[in-house]
Structure 1
Amino acid sequence: MAKDVEVAENPGEFSAKDYHDPPPAPLIDVEELGKWSFYRALIAEFIATLLFLYITVLTVIGYKSQTDPSKNSDACGGVGILGIAWAFGGMIFILVYCTAGISGGHINPAVTFGLFLGRKVSLIRALLYMVAQCLGAICGCGLVKAFQKAYYTRYGGGANELSSGYSKGTGLGAEIIGTFVLVYTVFSATDPKRNARDSHVPVLAPLPIGFAVFMVHLATIPITGTGINPARSFGAAVIYNKDKAWDDQWIFWVGPFIGAAIAAFYHQYILRAAAIKALGSFRSNA
């Protein structure tokens, strides 16, 4: 099997590839606005994020209810941090699997932002995806509150908050690194090079993405409750609407966007050698 792109003896020359990278998405693609497939993708992102928040926030509230000391509940009777992490990672696995062929299965503004920086989606698609994701998150949390208002209010509405004892810098760092792990996994799992050589990769792509979410939650739930998804943090804050949920909201936007940007740069320009390709092309033309 042919090797990946490698710099040849003469600058600007590369060995043959056994895969083809798709062309970069245009920065602004107005034609998308006239296609039903685009609006179908927006609907898919909205519904997927709604379901994601509905199931995961219910899991968080259920755990807090099951272990509430005031109700003489068993401290070990709930699903625990492990169960919450599985809920988040498992739902991402399910929803990415269901929507990947329709919208790409982003379900996260940070993922959309990273893919935009990697020229995988246009600016218009990226912005409207983020709007759909945030609206879906708000509606998902709204459903939880509508069905279990007393529990929702009593147990914090599943909102992300910086835990006591941790500084804002620690929380920001946790969100940056956690989102880097997620977006780096997304780029790796959807890399056309891997798809060309491992026929099972397109089928299993949702699995490493969901597992990355699971692992990050295990590490950062004690610090920030784990955001790594601005829509998840924003939707919970809007419906819960308490000061504590808004105090550190900026961490759950700035951190994920920085982490996504670093992951996009690392994968595209370091691992995939986009910088070397560009330099080689420049030398060749010169």
Structure 2
Amino acid sequence: MTKDTPEQEQEQGSFTAKDYHDPPPAKFFDSKELTKWSFYRALIAEFIATLLFLYITVLTVIGYKSQIANGNDACGGVGVLGIAWAFGGMIFVLVYCTAGISGGHINPAVTFGLFLARKVSLSRAIMYMVAQCLGAICGVGLVKSFHKTYYNTYGGGANELADGYNKGTGLGAEIIGTFVLVYTVFSATDPKRNARDSYVPVLAPLPIGFAVFMVHLATIPITGTGINPARSFGAAVIYNKEKAWDDQWIFWVGPFIGAAIAAFYHQFILRAGAAKALGSFRSATHI
């Protein structure tokens, strides 16, 4: 009986150990990376990407609100659909541009989920979040400096819970929306799937951008769609009005819970991390 070639094994859906390799878990705290230029280059990439993300998207939101306030046809401008495209499209572009440098997180919730899955160290996760929040503040600051009158008049693009919705509803929307996003990130970057479908790494920014787009369509009427604590925080810092700060906790707690659930679901359910850990434990007891 002849042995199947690797190509035949792949076609039959049986993968050998050589078909793919999970990267080793990141160190909890890696002091060595703090001495490397690549680490600081990644921080700069996250800062600039988040700055550009907030500048384009907040400007789109303000432009839409100004059109409606001036009595223009709601369908004549970008509309809610256009706002969702702006957020999803910018994530697609920026993830594509920065994935090879920093991983293209552009979102503290994504960074938090990857940290829980041991994809990044604690030191990198913290510094990424700082860079993202600073980038968001600077991005919204540019919007205000260039368009101050419109910015102050039309809400500064700040996330706020819409009238008619309670805080529990807003929190649930942020949890589920962030779950969708972070789950998509894990699926699009799964090394097992990348080994099976060679085109996946190239297309990874596309489903991530579409996830952001779809979540915005669903949750803009509820919370204005956060799912990114840096986006909500940057807008609140520059706008600095009471309502934006009153609801700010929703846009941190919700995304972090959603990211944690997505990390657990992907790593321990879909990738059978719990079963593997249990199997290793049982094997160890028989040694």
| TM surpasses 0.5 | yes
- Partner secondary structure for residue 20 of structure 2: coil
TM-score of the pair, normalised by structure 1: 0.94
In 2, are the aligned partners of 1:67 and 1:76 still within 8 Å (CA)?
no
Root mean square deviation of aligned Cα: 1.1
Q: Is the 8 A contact 1:156 1:240 kept in 2?
A: yes
1:250 aligned onto 2:241: no
1:10 paired residue number: none
Is the CA contact (8 Å cut-off) linking 1:4 and 1:17 kept in structure 2?
A: no
Residue 261 of structure 1 corresponds to 260
2:230 matched to 1:240? no
1:136-162 deviations in Å (ceiling 9; x for gaps): 000000000000000000000000000
Amino acid at match of 1:175: E
Residue 65 of structure 1 corresponds to 66
Partner residue, 2:118: 119
Q: Contact 1:173/1:255 (CA < 8 Å) preserved in 2?
A: yes
Tell me what 2:181 maps to.
182
Distance change (3 Å), C-alpha of 1:45 and 1:285: same
Q: Which residue of 2 aligns with 1:129?
A: 128
Shift of 1:77: 1.9
SS in 1 for 2:77: coil
Cα distance, 1:285 vs. partner? 1.7
Distance 2:133 2:94 in 1: 16
Equivalent position amino acid for 1:40 in 2:
R
Q: 2: distance between equivalents of 1:179 and 1:278? A: 27
Give the AA of the match of 2:249: W
1:44-103 CA-partner distances (Å, limit 9, x unpaired): 0000000000000000000011111xx332232221110000000000000000000000
CA shift at 1:244, angstroms? Answer: 0.9
1:27-46 residue pairs with structure 2 within 5 A? Answer: 27-46=28-47
- After superposition, where does 1:94-243 map in structure 2 within 5 Å? 94-243=93-242
TM-score by length of 2: 0.94
The residue type paired with residue 260 of structure 1 is: A
Distance 1:67-1:269 versus aligned 2 partners, 3 A rule: same
Count of matched residue positions in the alignment of Structure 1 and Structure 2 = 275
Where do 5+ consecutive residues of structure 2 fail to align? 1-8
8 A contact 1:171–1:224 mirrored in 2: yes
For residue 25 of structure 1, what is the amino acid of its counterpart? Answer: A
Distance 1:17 1:271 in 2: 21
